Structure 1
Amino acid sequence: MYPSRIMPELYRQGVTNHGVAIKGSRVATSMMEAGAQLFTVPSPTRAIYSLPRLLSYIDAHAIEILHCHKSSDLRVAFLLKLFRPGLKLFFTEHMGVTRSKKGLYHRFAYSQVTRVFSISQATYQRNLRALPLPSERIHCLGLGVDLGTYSAALISKAELGLPENRCLIALPGRITPGKGHEVWLDALAMLKQTTSWHALVIGGLNAAEGADELFVAEIKKKAAHLGLEDRVSFLGFRRDVPMLLQAMDIVCIPSRNEAFGLTVIESMAAGCAVVGANSGAIPELIDAERGRLADPLSVTEWVAAISELLNAPALRSKLGEQARQWVAENMTLDVHVSNLLREYRQD
């Protein structure tokens, strides 16, 4: 969903956006809502057969830059580049490559790429090792958030139907293995004798919303087994996450190997006290001045980190304000897009 997040800011900075997406997909819908002119294909496999139409579209609209975000999309993009050598081709590797891609096909495909973007230092190091490119063609370009979206508390605990005298602890993001829900629930179970909190799982509950449905069922069953039915609410997919975050007191991100941590900086932008995993890219975003870190495999560490913040509203406020200030200085969307445009314009 990255393209639709940055398209409004690209427009604001004078760039015309076009999108290529699967017809009827959420990506296509999000691009249209962001104001992009859209070229659709019926399926990923049939995208290759759309090459002549795509080339005509590129010529008709004088498109100069291609930017793709999945390795499967690179198959189409590098062919377009072959037929239109004047195009610049950029690829954001959002996860960080964990297996070597130095075979004949990958060497040829990546030879057409102008530059690969890594979204964190953690993924940058993986990409350096795995991709068939010299280091000067792999750059680190962190993500950004629109701070204005988090400028005011737009929803109260009462509006959420939750007790205002409870400390709200949230875990936002996709409900899939590796995101740390199991350890988080085990930690909450050890804190259930503390009556001053309520926990919220914010994220889609079915496949159409990006969730692993079998895993969702497991997590709900685990919460019930731990006696947390009345203490943990599953809110499902929400379009008002910025508003929700501003009503939270503590946000937990226990992902074991986060490639960047967009949810982390979104929570920081909302002024939340964040507890994040001390693995992956999250330690690049959080330090002791603006949050807390815990081992994603250690229930004991999560209990300690949450306990420290539960009954310390002044500390939560201090960490949240310092986190928001850091995001304002380092991770805003306008700065990210400005840096992206600078990369586009380089030779």
Structure 2
Amino acid sequence: MDEVEVLAPNFKRRLSGVTSTIVQLAPLQRRIGVKIATLGPGLPEHLPHVSWRDLVKAWRPPPGKTARVWHARRNNEMIVGIVLRDILRMPLKLLFTSAAQRHHKPFTRWLIRRMDRVVATSERSGSFLQAPHTTILHGVDTDMFHPPQTAEDTIAASGLAGKYLIGCFGRIRHQKGTDLFVASMIDLLPRFPDWTAVISGRATAEHQAFADRLKDDVRSAGLQDRIVFLGEVPDIKVWHRRLTLYVAPSRNEGFGLTPFEAMASKTAVVTSDAGAYSEMAVPGISGNIVAAGDGPALTKAIEPYLADPAKAIDDAEKSLAHVRANFGLEREASALKAVYEEMLEGG
């Protein structure tokens, strides 16, 4: 704790997009000189980590500094930061990263006003903040997500039928537009026998009936061998590499990293304009973008790729170059490092 200058709390045990961001960023931040440590449950053991007991030492700032940065990404993490700073008088400066694509509730606005600095993960999320902020888009680890390299990265290794895979990954629920993807596949796949669709992700109890209806629709269409529900898979990275086309049909999204992960895996993408999708994908370069919730438009945007797989392969090459040039994880880590340094400037 003596040397830690940035604390990154994670107060959610289940894996989420926020947790994934911390897991990917923290080791890289350490490598580029950020003295950061994580705090909280549900994080891999290899991350730099401090315990709640270690916080006793946080009343003494690190050498040469007058405070530490508390980097919150959730409301409960902001609350704890405020308590530590304002009630327990711990020398902290509070930073909040917001990915929300909606107007904040009054209590959240109250919390945000008490932050020393605020970061938005996209221009759209920034537009909902009633506070000065810096925009830093998320990046993707291009070493972790990379183009196919071995036979394991092919459709043949999946054991599924067809020559090409089209995929939709993430939690199965209405918000994520899984039903829009399934409807498009039911419409298109009978006309394009070389393609098979895969859906990976978990349906929580409250969304299980939604997922069951989608599976019933697939069975009714007689396409259960060509629209395959994988459930949660141990390694989603290999499935990104097996795809020829990735679809992100969300109706609403905080940020949404999966199109980045697909592009870094050399896969073309079709996305809605939810979240930051419209800020990461470029029509004609990385794929097509449609209005969120517009099922017919989604089907229309997917069809040219199924009709001409060479187009998908060509756009995949462009996607890879685009994401490597503009959205590497190193860029996000470096931008956050600059914010931390500004907050800690002056000792």
Both proteins in one fold, TM over 0.5: yes
* 1:114–1:273 Cα change, 3 Å: same
Query: 1:222 and 1:57 mapped to 2: Cα distance?
Result: 57
1:253 aligns to what?
Answer: 248
Pair 161,38 (structure 1): closer, same or farther in 2 beyond 3 Å: farther
Task: Tell me, in whole angstroms, the C-alpha distance in 2 between the residues paired with 1:204 and 1:254.
Answer: 16
Partner in structure 2 of residue 72 of structure 1 = 76
Partner of 1:175: 172
Aligned twin of 1:223: 218
Deviates more, 1:141-150 or 1:233-242: 233-242
User: What's the counterpart of residue 98 of structure 1?
Assistant: 103
Distance in 2 (alpha carbons) for counterparts of 1:123 and 1:6 = 20
Alignment of 1:2-21 (within 5 A): 2-21=21-40
Deviation at 1:84, TM superposition (A): 3.8
Query: Structure 1 residues 193, 110: closer, same or farther in 2, change over 3 A?
Result: closer
- Asked if the contact 1:21–1:39 (Cα under 8 Å) also holds between the matched residues in 2, the reply is yes
Total equivalences in the alignment:
314
Q: Which moved more, 1:65-74 or 1:224-233?
A: 224-233
Please give the residue correspondences for 1:1-347 in structure 2 after superposition, counting only pairs within 5 Å. Answer: 1=19, 2-22=21-41, 28-30=42-44, 32-33=45-46, 35-39=47-51, 53=53, 55-59=55-59, 62=62, 64-82=68-86, 83-84=88-89, 86-101=91-106, 106-107=109-110, 109-128=111-130, 133=131, 135=132, 138-153=133-148, 154=150, 155-163=153-161, 165-194=162-191, 195-206=193-204, 212-289=207-284, 290-347=286-343
Mapped to 2, the partners of 1:323 and 1:192 lie a distance apart of: 24
SS at 2:70 equivalent: strand
CA contact (8 A) 2:167 2:198 kept: yes
2:147/2:266 contact within 8 Å kept: no
In 2, Cα distance between the equivalents of 1:300 and 1:114? 45
Q: CA deviation at 1:302?
A: 2.1
Contact 1:272 1:317 in 2 (8 A): yes
The structural deviation recorded for 1:215 is: 3.0
SS of equivalent to 1:310: helix
Give secondary structure in 1 for the equivalent of 2:50.
strand
The CA deviation string for residues 212-240 of structure 1, in whole angstroms up to 9 with x for no partner, is 43333233233223333121111122242
Q: Secondary structure at the match of 2:247?
A: strand
In the alignment, the residues of structure 2 paired with residue 110 and residue 152 of structure 1 have an alpha-carbon distance, to the nearest angstrom, of: 39
Q: Distance in 2 between matches of 1:88 and 1:244?
A: 41
Relative contact order (C-alpha < 8 Å, sep 6+): which is higher?
2
| SS of 1:169 mapped into structure 2 | strand
Can you give the 5+ residue segments of structure 1 that lack an aligned partner in the other structure? Answer: 23-27, 41-52
**Does the Cα contact within 8 Å between 1:7 and 1:36 map onto a contact in 2?**
yes
Query: What secondary structure sits across from 2:27 in the alignment?
Result: helix
Give the Å deviation of 1:174: 1.5
| SS of alignment partner, residue 129 of structure 2 | helix
Q: Do the aligned partners of residues 59 and 213 (structure 1) sit closer, same or farther apart at CA in structure 2, a change above 3 Å counting? A: farther
Shift of 1:313: 2.5
Q: Distance in 2 between matches of 1:300 and 1:111?
A: 42
Is the 8 Å Cα contact of residues 96 and 118 (structure 1) preserved in structure 2? no
User: d(CA) in 1 for partners of 2:216 and 2:76?
Assistant: 35
- Superposed CA RMSD in Å reads 2.3
**Cα gap change, 1:335 to 1:240, in 2 (>3 Å):** same
Compute the TM-score of the two structures, normalised by the length of structure 2.
0.83
Whether the 8 Å contact between 2:200 and 2:231 is mirrored in structure 1 is yes
Q: Provide the TM-score with structure 1 as the length reference.
A: 0.83
CA distance in 2 between partners of 1:280 and 1:29 (Å): 25
Report if aligned partners of 2:81, 2:94 keep a CA contact under 8 Å in 1: yes
- The answer (yes or no) to whether the contact 1:81–1:112 under 8 Å persists in 2 is no
